[in-house]
Structure 1
Amino acid sequence: MPRGGNWVWVRVDPKIKAAKDKVKNKRYIRLHINLLYGYGQYFDGIYRDIDILSSATLAELHEAIFELFDRYDGHAWKFSFDTDNPYSREGRHYLPRFILEDMPDEGYAAEETTLDSLNLKDGTSFLYLFDFGDDWIHEITVLSSSEASPRARKLWKLVKKQGKSPAQYPEDEEDYDEE
């Protein structure tokens, strides 16, 4: 154990570990991020299309979505693949380390998983769940990928925005008092 530190053991998807070193060229992946549900309400037509570097981790994608949908209060989150229900035990789930510390069998480390390592193909869809209480559920679909300039420095960029982001807490936000 390192002096003054603690080891945190998290599972890394073996497919991801093997694919990590294969990234040679920078490329952008265009994602369509569609808000489906949140705070007890279904949504239609609220989405963001972004280009994000394929070397970005799922944790970095979470940060982009957090910003894109005007969130300000952090909560637990996860990405779910091969399932249509983010609470299902089926499929693959990628979560932040702080959750996996307490529940190591719940999935894989999002901080260790790049988009490239997932071998995403055009048309692939997966889910993003933000806030396990208010259930902000997004469906993310891969639209395309393109080569990025070797000088590309920006992790992600907004390509298209449709619809206003609903308030993170729908009650009158002026009356919302964080205690």
Structure 2
Amino acid sequence: MAKTKKSENIAKQAVNPSSNALYVLEVFLIDGPITEKFAAENPVVSRTIEIKGSNTLENLHQIIFKAFDREDEHMYEFQVGGRRPQDPNARRYCLKQAFSSSDLTLALTGDVSSTSIASLGLSIDDAFGYWFDFGDDWWHQIDVINIQDLAQSGKYPKITQRVGASPPQYADFD
């Protein structure tokens, strides 16, 4: 048992959070307005994304939006450091200008447009949440699969793998 604990500790060590680092993230759809038929045909819906440490959470939102074939923009939030969706102890990042209430603004940790991926202090095997469309409540879990010290040249962020179909953004439950 101690051997397993030691392995977990080694795996959880943070990699240098350089803006040149490459983060490999697996984004799972964990909840949302999908039909039973869609869920049966697509038991797992995930996308693998490569993103540089210098990219922002706003860039991450944009590539997730594209990866899941969404059509209409809505509010969204990233929740980092929590144990579950809506964990009050998680650090919350969204577009600050979207909220007019000072109570909501005070609860935010940062603005997605200015928060880099590298600044989040992520480690391999960490997971964090992404909530899209505060009315339909599309919930995603983002797992940190790998962090490389240096991204190869190329355009980032990018989608490298798709598992399962993209659900329609507005399900027809008829």
Shared fold, TM over 0.5: yes
- Look up the match of 1:68: 67
2:65 match: secondary structure:
helix
In 2, distance between residues paired with 1:118 and 1:97?
17
Whether the 8 Å contact between 2:26 and 2:47 is mirrored in structure 1 is yes
Kept after mapping to 2: 8 A contact 1:46/1:164: yes
Mapped to 2, the partners of 1:89 and 1:31 lie a distance apart of 23
Number of aligned residue pairs: give it: 149
Residue identity matched to 2:138: W
Q: Is 1:30 paired with 2:24? A: yes
Which runs of 5 or more structure 2 residues have no equivalent in the other structure? 1-16
Deviates more, 1:38-47 or 1:109-118: 38-47
- Report the TM-score when normalising by structure 2: 0.77
Give every structure 1 segment of 4 or more consecutive aligned residues whose post-TM-superposition deviation is greater than 6 Å: none
The SS at the match of 1:112 is coil
Measured after TM superposition, the shift of residue 88 of structure 1 is 3.7
Mapping 1:120-135, distance limit 5 Å: 120-135=122-137
1:140 aligns with 2:142: yes
Distance 1:123 1:112 in 2: 24
1:1-179 equivalence runs, <5 A: 23=18, 26-39=20-33, 44-102=43-101, 103-107=104-108, 108-146=110-148, 147-149=150-152, 152-171=153-172
Unmatched 5+ stretches in structure 1:
1-21, 173-179
**Cα drift, residue 68 of structure 1:** 0.5
Shift of 1:154: 0.9
Query: 1 or 2 for the larger relative contact order (CA 8 Å, sep ≥6)?
Result: 2
- Cα deviation for residue 145 of structure 1 reads 1.6
| C-alpha RMSD of the superposition | 2.2
State the percentage of identical aligned residues.
31
Q: How far apart are 1:87 and its partner, in Å?
A: 3.1
Cα 1:82–1:23 shift into 2, 3 Å: closer
CA–CA separation in structure 2 for the residues paired with 1:40 and 1:133: 14
Alpha-carbon displacement from aligned partner over 1:83-125 (angstroms, at most 9, x marks no partner): 2443343221101122345331121211111010112100010
Give 2:165's aligned amino acid. K
**CA positional deviation for 1:37:** 0.5
- The answer to whether the 8 A contact 2:34-2:171 is kept is no
Query: Following the alignment from structure 2 to structure 1, what is the Cα–Cα distance between the partners of residues 25 and 87?
Result: 23
